[in-house]
Structure 1
């Protein structure tokens, strides 16, 4: 499928031509940090249109320069975007461009280099997260352990209606997240071949955090 979204069960691969084109540039080893950051932001904004397709609307009476009319606007409380630190902030920027009034939360999780299991070091979300649609963002869904840990923590804080957004997923990570949180829909721009022995996605794009922030 081209120019839309390929949906299988709870996993949606958003394969718009512009997303595929920009993702190709993002994958290239020669793409410099500044360009990598810009592309990540642009892809995230484009993905946001599909991720937020089902936002509820309500009628509102307005006055145009020519006459009054009844139009529609998003109803309910504002969204809440949750970034899994640190790489999630790359996607967060594009999502905020799309919904500037959204509330923001952060979950700090790093992967133990030996066990590949997540260790939480920071958690700060809006107090009323239970009343908001919650979008969790992180560029790479590799083993799935960080995503599961972050969503589990959010649910403990009361979050409901959670969605998960990444740029690239591994089949192993998708399986782990779906098993732990079958109610959470996954949105991604690509599902790659597999994880390697170091739990990196192949072919992937390398370490998203390092490439976003120029730390390697």
Structure 2
């Protein structure tokens, strides 16, 4: 588990948590945090040496060595993180997994799934602002592995200890990147203190 304590991320996270933050600002800050987190989460991408001709001379440079990325938002809240990431990685493909939590059991139910045809050859980054019970993240990872994905990371803005534990139990091979770890889940399965319903706050549907 990688918890980012970068001052910029922590400052922006305080804005997300504030119940007075408007939809426009919440949406913008969500994307900004996603971009900053992606910068750190891709630190291990392999590089290769190349030569580039500048207007003055040949330069020895380094570029990403053939790694293909796929961004996989968990619908719908995960969509709020996509633009920030593809701004950094415009060549990344975007898959979608639609999962909702059954209000009675709090367990995930899949209603949509669409991935790039070459997902088995790509490094997948699953994104969801909240890692609460962990059910949706575990299910998304299950679906990706069934599709042949071999390299998966999970990137969430805030998480509850219960969600982290569940994810590590079911998918110990998946690295988890988080901006903040909160205290607990309440009886309704919401993260405390959290930031409310991320999907409602991103899309203004509260």
In structure 2, the residue matched to 1:71 is 61
What is the match of residue 187 of structure 1? 177
What is the match of residue 34 of structure 1? Answer: 24
Aligned partner of 2:129 in structure 1 is 139
For each residue in 1:52-72, what CA deviation from the matched residue of structure 2 results, as whole angstroms up to 9, or x when unmatched? 000011111110121012211
Q: Does 1:161 align with 2:155?
A: no
Tell me the number of residue pairs that the alignment of Structure 1 and Structure 2 aligns. Answer: 206
Root mean square deviation, CA, Å: 0.6
Query: Quick check: 1:91 aligned with 2:91?
Result: no
Which segments of 5 or more consecutive residues in structure 1 lack a partner in the other structure?
Answer: 1-10
Note if 1:25 corresponds to 2:15. yes
User: Residue by residue, what CA displacement relative to the aligned partner does 1:110-137 show, whole Å, maximum 9, x if unpaired?
Assistant: 0001100000000000111111111000
Describe the superposition over 1:96-121 as per-residue Cα deviations: whole angstroms up to 9, x where unpaired. Answer: 11101101100000000110000000
**Matched residues in 2 for 1:200 and 1:150: separation?**
19
Report deviation, 1:154: 0.3
* TM-score normalized by the length of structure 1: 0.94
Structure 1 range deviating more: 73-82 or 178-187: 73-82
Residue 102 of structure 2 corresponds to 112
> Match for residue 150 of structure 1?
140
Aligned match of 2:72: 82
Provide Cα deviations, 1:145-186, integer angstroms capped at 9, x if missing partner: 000001000000000110000000000000000000000000
Shift of 1:77: 3.8
For 1:212, the equivalent position in structure 2 comes to 202
Match of residue 8 from structure 1: none
- Stretches (4+) displaced over 2 A: none
- Separation in 2, partners of 1:208, 1:94: 16
For the residue of structure 2 that corresponds to 1:167, the secondary structure is: strand
2:42 aligned partner:
52
TM-score (norm 2): 0.99
Out of 77-86 and 117-126, give the one that drifted further.
77-86
CA distance in 2, matches of 1:91, 1:65: 37
